Amino acid sequence: MTDSYLPAHGDDGYRVLHYDLELDYRVVSNRLAGRAVITARATQALARFSLDLGRFQVRDVRVDGRPARFEHRPHKLKIKPERPISYGSAFTVEVRYAGKPTPISGRWGDIGWDELTDGALVASQPNGSPSWFPCNDRPDGKATFLVSVTAPAPYTVVVTGDLISRRRGAGASTWVYERNEPTAPYLMSVQVGRYDVVPLAASGPVVQRAAIPPRLRRLFGHDFARHGEIMSSLSSMFGPYPFHEYVVVVADDDLDDPIEAQGMAVFGRNHVDGRRTHERLVVHELAHQWFGNSLTVADWRHIWLNEGFATYAEWLWSEVSGDLPAAALAARWHAWAASQPSRVIVANPGVDRMFDPVVYKRGGLTVHALRVRLGDEAFFAFVRSWVATYRHQTVTDAQFRAHAAQFASGSLDGLFAAWLDRPALPPLPRG
């Protein structure tokens, strides 16, 4: 099944196993040339299939090394291989393409590859991946990646993944990153800018670094000074950090909101002010590495699982860092939610409201209500078990409820029905 909220994206006739992307990006002209080799396995017999791809000129398509017929209309590349692909067979697709990458425009604004004042960033949630590479664009389409990006020498290139090589040439450098953990296409990201790469935390089991504009080093050093503590706190509550390293990028442009990607978060220069004004967002984006990135929703209607936990992580950090306890923040946001129209069903908010603040805050309140019901010992045992059981997999709301039930002494059906399945706001739990 394709995604219930974005049925025009993705193709359920096959599963991608691996993407090998070779990209050449010219910053001044904002031109991208790419070669994508996609390894997939057919989940049904295929006489034809499709990839999602934006407004590029497609130069050549080959299936298992043989030329294939294709038709490209934004934002769909339809492919007819020379020979049908049998059920269960592994096959490769090679696509060569070029053009000016532009974001995917839609109800959430411009999503995907975006040109900065001096560089580029990628913010693909939920449907922006086709703006820079051909893919099976669905949240449950996790695969591994090898990404090579060539860019002018003055620029630093950061890709979601582990840097395995950097080759310097005449006026350009090629950066090669590997992402071995299964990753949804929307969580892959490329950042290009004139950045300094600096440590994000002095020590610890997780490598933490940042790519930032040189002029922001002092302000950044203050605003992110507690990042090592934040990482330690979240790891103790949720279980080990699920990737090899964590990278923060600060674009030298203003951004409306920070962006999470696999093992990465991207902030705008407006989120760095030397006063830690946005530290809750630092916590929120880091929490997504567990909830959203390692555990990725199988369908966008389950988005509360991402945003509810990331929101509650903000409240937990406030509590452990000596600021307001989570219960006080829950009371504050419950009062706010009570002032909003009761029209959102959190477990299935609808495509137009999937990023509604009510989904975030009521999602956080749902997690708090579960904590009160279970008690701290059982609640944190459940969270760590939930994260460990579904590490690097996709998850659903039904799986969440079933897993939580294993840690409760009585039925949780009433709690979940009240908080997730009905638009009316339940009373704030006390405990």
Find the farthest-apart pair of alpha carbons in the chain and give their distance in angstroms, rounded: 67
pLDDT digits over 135-180, tens only?
A: 999 999 999 999 999 999 999 999 999 999 999 988 999 999 999 9
Give the CATH number, domain containing residue 228.
3.30.2010.30
Beta carbons within 10 angstroms of residue 168's beta carbon: 9
Give residue 170's pLDDT.
87
User: 315 and 244, same structural domain?
Assistant: no
Look at residue 166 and tell me if it is in a domain. Answer: yes
Judge whether residue 263 has pLDDT over 90.
yes
Query: Which position has the token pair 């579904």?
Result: 390
User: 220 and 172, same structural domain?
Assistant: no
Residues 6+ apart with CB under 8 A from 402: none
Give the separation between CA 220 and CA 195, rounded to whole angstroms. Answer: 13
User: Which pLDDT band, with edges at 50, 70 and 90, does 119 fall under?
Assistant: very high
Residues of the chain above pLDDT 90, percent? 94
Give the separation between CA 52 and CA 45, rounded to whole angstroms. Answer: 20
CB distance 49 to 91 below 8 Å: no
Mean of pLDDT values over 96-101: 97
User: Which pLDDT band, with edges at 50, 70 and 90, does 108 fall under?
Assistant: confident
Judge whether residue 203 has pLDDT over 80.
no
Residue 212's domain comprises 196-289
pLDDT digits over 343-363, tens only?
A: 899 999 999 999 999 999 999
Domain termination residue (choose one: 154, 172, 188):
188
User: 276 and 212, same structural domain?
Assistant: yes
Q: What 8-state DSSP symbol labels residue 9?
A: S
Look at residue 142 and tell me if it is in a domain. Answer: yes
User: 383 and 236, same structural domain?
Assistant: no
Q: Report angle CA 222, 227, 232 to the nearest 5 degrees.
A: 150
Q: Which two tokens stand for residue 266?
A: 């991207």
Give residue 15's pLDDT.
98
CB distance 291 to 310 below 8 Å: yes
Phi and psi angles of residue 113, each rounded to the nearest 5 degrees, phi first: -70, 125
* Contacts of the segment 424-429: beta carbons below 8 A, 24+ positions apart: 424/342, 425/334, 425/337, 425/338, 425/342, 425/362, 426/369, 428/330, 428/331, 428/334, 428/365, 429/368, 429/369, 429/372, 429/373
pLDDT digits over 372-417, tens only?
A: 999 999 999 999 999 999 999 999 999 999 999 999 999 999 999 9
Residue 10 to residues 134, 158, 184, 300, Cα–Cα distance (Å): 11, 26, 12, 13
Beta carbons within 10 angstroms of residue 153's beta carbon: 10
The rounded mean pLDDT for the chain is: 96
Tell me if residue 81 falls in helix, strand or coil: coil
Give the CATH number, domain containing residue 180.
2.60.40.1730
Give residue 109's pLDDT.
87
Give residue 343's pLDDT.
86
As for how many domains the chain has, the answer is: 3
